[in-house]
């Protein structure tokens, strides 16, 4: 009953989509990629390969590029990693550790460079310098030095908070301490990795000792750094490349290349293939040369990272929600192999999605033995896209076929194609019939218009959905209850101890001291472990509004959108009232919900449907909790707390810069004008929004007025 990815197949091209299809596809991709991120970063149980994940992200980015107005607040382009493991103490990063956008083709790199020029308003022939360096396939690490002394080391985690691995990091020989002539506060960011030679030797020692061997050097590095016993880490041959920084008390340099050189002078290992380049052609040439050296480097890389060299321009470009605008990872092509498809299993996820998973004759792909692959959805199996058009020239996939397996990591890969010449003659395999009922509960499995997946209609009566929703509720990005993980949830649900989220908070009353059946007497539990679980549950009765919204498991509402909703409404009561009032689609409350920047019809419908269908259960849960209001945004600016709308053409700054500036000043930016709009900034060409603002009596200013207002803040 584990969630598997119901990822996109080769579907209709973004440039042929209409708005409704694009909106539905972006919603689906947001859900799939969020689950993949949680599985990979939080659960150490990936559900798709790097190649498949990159393909999903690329498709999402392509659709967003064509439909920028449809970008969702929970878009994969706004996500970083996942919550840190519960096995370590947590460290909050002074500055977020971001992820990188991906490029896969020279055209993608050209778009990256062109996008920087457009954002900064630079002419096509204006000079721009970049740096290029190999993208190490390892584990991101942040090292904080104070007065030259290493005070702590943390993994990236979810970008905001990571795992405290200080004791382990001190055992890595490439991490110097103390430092001489360093800024008083210096956070060095880089990648922990394992060389091929060391990896082979480690696996040989593990096999000789009868211990677990590792699939690849990245897994070995991650597993070694995240040992609770630093002695084990010390015995593992880990290495570290430095390439970036976090908080600084004084600048390292004025350029990326200068700052990396400064890190090298402080004693850090920096990549010898790091180069500076002035042209797009030069970047692509570096990429080709590094790719040609890939097999002989002695460590794993999966692409080349390009960064704008000028740090002042980096600052001006700023950040998206999870990635910098001034950097991108140009990924290498993934690896492939052929094998036999021996079966197709259907797995049911938290939202009821029926996900087909291929069972394969084991095959080695890129040094890793794989036996499972995603088959995406019923259309992909049948050889068509979501609109009925042909993919793979209409060739359907059947059990017994020989299929091409595509991967770039060490987990479930993607099936790219099949070889009809190897399909048995005479008694050919029969076409696969996708089930129309849920294999878990027997409920009808329907496919809604615009959706590429078939979903079980059983809701909470479906054991797969019920269990997966409970797992989601206690996941690290939600309630994060120590001692109550996936295995415990499954066991408690199976025995009827926990059937709804509210049951978690009554567990001690029903199975604690003095009760006929006690948790401490259950197999695998004792008095101490039971006490610890009850204490952990009690500790999580106090929860932030954003975490609670995310924990509810509402379809299309990921971590980013939950944060957005929490920030907008501020309190649980305000949010709950808005959801009730917005049930009627022609109501003012529903219009207000749609007016929130990033909330489209799909998310709005999912929100009100969830609260309408499960209001009693949600309200019962809320009574058990102490819900913290959202963190207040900046309050010392003229626009703090106000709702702004931008329209028309801005001439002194791009729309992206204006929006980022407004949000930094504590304002909310909406996509449409309503009675709750406080200020409309109208540039030349303003049309219906300016007219509506006039009708509603909303204050309107021009770009010059906005510049004066924002600079005076």
Backbone angles phi, psi at 356, to 5 degrees: -80, 135
pLDDT of res. 426: 67
Residue 637 zone, left/alpha/beta (φ > 0; ψ -120 to 50; rest)? beta
For residue 374, give the DSSP letter. Answer: E
- Residue 228, domain CATH: 3.30.470.30
Q: Is residue 325 part of a domain?
A: no
Lowest mean pLDDT among 5-14, 231-240, 247-256, 644-653: 5-14
pLDDT of residue 397 exceeding 80, the answer is: yes
Q: Cis link prior to 178 (omega < 30° from 0)?
A: yes
pLDDT of res. 633: 61
Same domain, yes or no, for 299 and 159? yes
pLDDT of residue 390 exceeding 70, the answer is: yes
Same domain, yes or no, for 668 and 621? no
pLDDT of residue 485 exceeding 80, the answer is: yes
pLDDT tens column, 522-577: 988 999 999 999 999 999 999 999 999 999 999 889 887 898 898 888 899 999 99
- Work out the widest C-alpha separation in the chain, in whole angstroms: 80
pLDDT of res. 366: 64
pLDDT of res. 235: 80
480-488 contact pairs (CB < 8 A, 24+): 480/83, 480/86, 480/540, 480/547, 481/533, 481/536, 481/537, 481/540, 482/86, 482/532, 482/533, 482/536, 483/529, 483/532, 483/533, 483/536, 484/533, 484/536, 484/537, 486/43
Q: Is residue 77 part of a domain?
A: no
Same domain, yes or no, for 135 and 148? yes
Share of the chain above pLDDT 90, in %: 44
Strands (DSSP E) contained in 226-300 are 239-248, 275-277
Distance CA 72, CA 25 (A): 11
pLDDT of res. 632: 60
Same domain, yes or no, for 536 and 548? no
pLDDT of res. 338: 83
- Residue 2, domain CATH: 2.40.50.140
Mean pLDDT, rounded, for 148-172: 90
What separation in angstroms does the CA of 452 have from each of 376, 446, 448? Answer: 9, 11, 8
Distance CA 101, CA 111 (A): 12
Mean pLDDT, rounded, for 263-284: 96
pLDDT tens column, 573-605: 999 999 999 988 888 888 889 888 778 888 998
Distance CA 176, CA 33 (A): 37
pLDDT of res. 378: 93
Q: Is residue 635 part of a domain?
A: no
Distance CA 62, CA 635 (A): 37
pLDDT of res. 531: 94
pLDDT of res. 410: 42
Same domain, yes or no, for 334 and 449? yes
pLDDT of residue 43 exceeding 60, the answer is: no
Q: Which among 86, 89, 96 is positioned nearest to 43, based on CA atoms? A: 86
What separation in angstroms does the CA of 139 have from each of 88, 136, 194? Answer: 16, 9, 10
Mean pLDDT, rounded, for 115-122: 92
Same domain, yes or no, for 287 and 142? yes
Lowest mean pLDDT among 42-51, 435-444, 470-479, 623-632: 42-51
Choosing from 292, 320, 348, the residue where a domain stops is 320
pLDDT of res. 2: 36
pLDDT of residue 84 exceeding 70, the answer is: no
Q: Is residue 465 part of a domain?
A: no
Confidence label for 44 from pLDDT (cuts 50, 70 and 90): very low
Q: Is residue 464 part of a domain?
A: no
Confidence label for 11 from pLDDT (cuts 50, 70 and 90): low
Q: Is residue 133 part of a domain?
A: yes
pLDDT of residue 150 exceeding 60, the answer is: yes
Number of separate domains in the chain:
5
Same domain, yes or no, for 412 and 335? yes
pLDDT of res. 5: 36
pLDDT of residue 4 exceeding 80, the answer is: no
Same domain, yes or no, for 218 and 315? yes
- Residue 574, domain CATH: 1.10.150.20
Active site residues: 135
pLDDT tens column, 625-668: 999 988 666 567 888 888 899 988 888 777 767 877 887 788 88
pLDDT of residue 331 exceeding 60, the answer is: yes
pLDDT of residue 53 exceeding 70, the answer is: yes
Same domain, yes or no, for 56 and 117? no
Q: Which among 150, 139, 160 is positioned nearest to 186, based on CA atoms? A: 150
Mean pLDDT, rounded, for 327-349: 88
Mean pLDDT, rounded, for 462-476: 90
Does residue 252 contact residue 245 with C-beta atoms inside 8 Å? yes
pLDDT of residue 367 exceeding 70, the answer is: no
pLDDT of res. 1: 35
Same domain, yes or no, for 142 and 291? yes
Distance CA 541, CA 538 (A): 5
pLDDT of residue 209 exceeding 90, the answer is: no
pLDDT of residue 189 exceeding 60, the answer is: yes
Lowest mean pLDDT among 9-23, 468-482, 600-614, 619-633: 9-23
* 647 compared with 711, residue with greater pLDDT: 647
Cα 384 → chain centroid = 28
Distance CA 711, CA 713 (A): 5
pLDDT of residue 3 exceeding 60, the answer is: no
- Domain span holding position 155: 90-320
Choosing from 492, 519, 540, the residue where a domain stops is 540
pTM: 0.49
**In angstroms, what is the C-alpha Rg of the chain?**
26
Confidence label for 79 from pLDDT (cuts 50, 70 and 90): low
pLDDT of res. 427: 61
Choosing from 320, 349, 379, the residue where a domain stops is 320
Q: Is residue 79 part of a domain?
A: no
Same domain, yes or no, for 511 and 653? no
Q: Is residue 572 part of a domain?
A: yes
Burial of residue 195 (CB within 10 Å: 0-12, 13-18, 19+) is middle
Mean pLDDT of all residues in the chain? 86
pLDDT of res. 207: 83
Confidence label for 103 from pLDDT (cuts 50, 70 and 90): very high
pLDDT of res. 665: 83
Distance CA 254, CA 260 (A): 11
Same domain, yes or no, for 246 and 132? yes
């Amino acid at each position: 009953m584990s969630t598997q990815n119901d990822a996109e197949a080769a579907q209709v091209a973004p440039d042929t989509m209409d708005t409704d299809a694009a909106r539905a596809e972006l919603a689906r991709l947001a859900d799939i990629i969020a689950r993949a991120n949680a599985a990979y970063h939080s659960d150490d149980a990936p559900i798709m390969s790097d190649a498949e994940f990159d393909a999903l992200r690329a498709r999402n980015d392509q659709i967003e590029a064509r439909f920028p107005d449809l970008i969702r607040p929970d878009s994969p382009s706004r996500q970083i990693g996942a919550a840190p493991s519960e096995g370590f103490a947590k460290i909050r990063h002074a500055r977020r550790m971001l992820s990188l956008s991906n490029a896969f083709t020279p055209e993608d790199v050209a778009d990256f460079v062109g996008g920087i020029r457009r954002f900064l308003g630079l002419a096509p022939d204006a000079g721009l310098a970049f740096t290029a360096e190999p993208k190490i396939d390892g584990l991101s690490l942040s090292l904080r030095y104070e007065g030259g002394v290493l005070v702590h080391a943390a993994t990236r985690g979810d970008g905001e908070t990571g795992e405290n691995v200080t004791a382990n990091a001190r055992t890595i020989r490439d991490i110097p301490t103390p430092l001489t002539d360093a800024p008083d506060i210096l956070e060095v960011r880089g990648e922990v990795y394992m060389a091929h030679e060391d990896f082979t030797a480690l696996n040989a020692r593990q096999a000789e000792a009868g211990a677990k061997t590792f699939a690849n050097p990245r897994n070995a590095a991650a597993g070694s750094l995240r040992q609770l016993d630093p002695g084990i880490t010390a015995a593992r041959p880990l290495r570290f490349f430095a390439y970036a920084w976090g908080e600084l008390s004084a600048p390292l340099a004025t350029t990326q290349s200068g700052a990396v050189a400064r890190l090298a002078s402080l004693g850090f290992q920096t990549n010898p293939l790091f180069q500076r380049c002035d042209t797009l052609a030069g970047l692509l040439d570096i990429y080709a040369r590094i790719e040609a050296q890939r097999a002989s480097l002695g460590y794993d890389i999966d692409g080349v990272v390009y960064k704008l060299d000028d740090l002042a321009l980096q600052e001006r470009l700023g950040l998206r929600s999870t990635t910098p605008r001034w950097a991108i990872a140009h990924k290498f092509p993934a690896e492939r192999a052929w094998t036999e498809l021996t079966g197709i299993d259907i797995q049911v996820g938290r939202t009821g999605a029926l996900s087909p998973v291929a069972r394969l004759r084991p095959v080695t792909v890129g040094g890793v033995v794989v036996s499972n692959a995603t088959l995406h959805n019923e259309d992909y199996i049948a050889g068509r896209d979501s609109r009925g058009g042909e993919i793979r020239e209409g060739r359907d996939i059947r059990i017994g076929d020989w299929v091409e397996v595509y991967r770039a990591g060490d987990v479930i890969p993607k099936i790219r194609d099949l070889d009809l010449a190897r399909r048995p003659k005479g008694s050919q395999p029969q076409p696969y019939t996708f089930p129309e009922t849920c294999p878990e509960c027997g409920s009808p499995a329907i496919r809604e218009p615009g959706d590429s997946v078939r979903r079980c209609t059983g809701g909470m009566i479906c054991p797969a959905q019920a269990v997966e929703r409970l797992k989601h509720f206690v996941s690290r990005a939600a309630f994060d209850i120590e001692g109550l993980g996936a295995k415990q949830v499954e066991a408690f649900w199976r025995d009827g101890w926990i059937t709804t989220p509210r049951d978690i908070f009554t567990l001690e009353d029903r199975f604690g001291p003095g009760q006929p059946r006690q948790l401490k007497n259950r197999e695998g539990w004792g008095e101490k472990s039971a006490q610890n679980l009850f204490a952990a549950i009690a500790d999580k009765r106090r929860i932030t509004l954003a975490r609670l919204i995310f924990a509810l498991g509402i379809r299309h509402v990921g971590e980013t959108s939950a944060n957005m909703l929490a920030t907008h409404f501020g309190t649980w009561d305000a949010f709950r009232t808005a959801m009730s009032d917005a049930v009627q689609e022609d109501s003012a409350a529903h219009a207000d919900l749609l007016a929130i920047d990033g909330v489209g019809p799909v998310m709005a419908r999912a929100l009100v449907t969830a609260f309408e269908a499960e209001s009693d259960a949600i309200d019962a849960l809320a009574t058990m909790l102490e819900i913290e209001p959202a963190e207040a945004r900046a309050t010392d600016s003229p626009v703090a707390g106000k709702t702004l709308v931008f329209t028309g053409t801005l001439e002194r700054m791009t729309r992206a810069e204006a929006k980022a500036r407004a949000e930094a000043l504590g304002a909310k930016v909406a996509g449409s004008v309503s009675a709750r709009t406080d200020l409309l900034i109208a540039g030349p060409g303003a049309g219906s929004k300016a007219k509506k603002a006039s009708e509603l009596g909303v204050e309107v200013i021009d770009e010059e007025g906005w510049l004066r207002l924002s600079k005076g803040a």
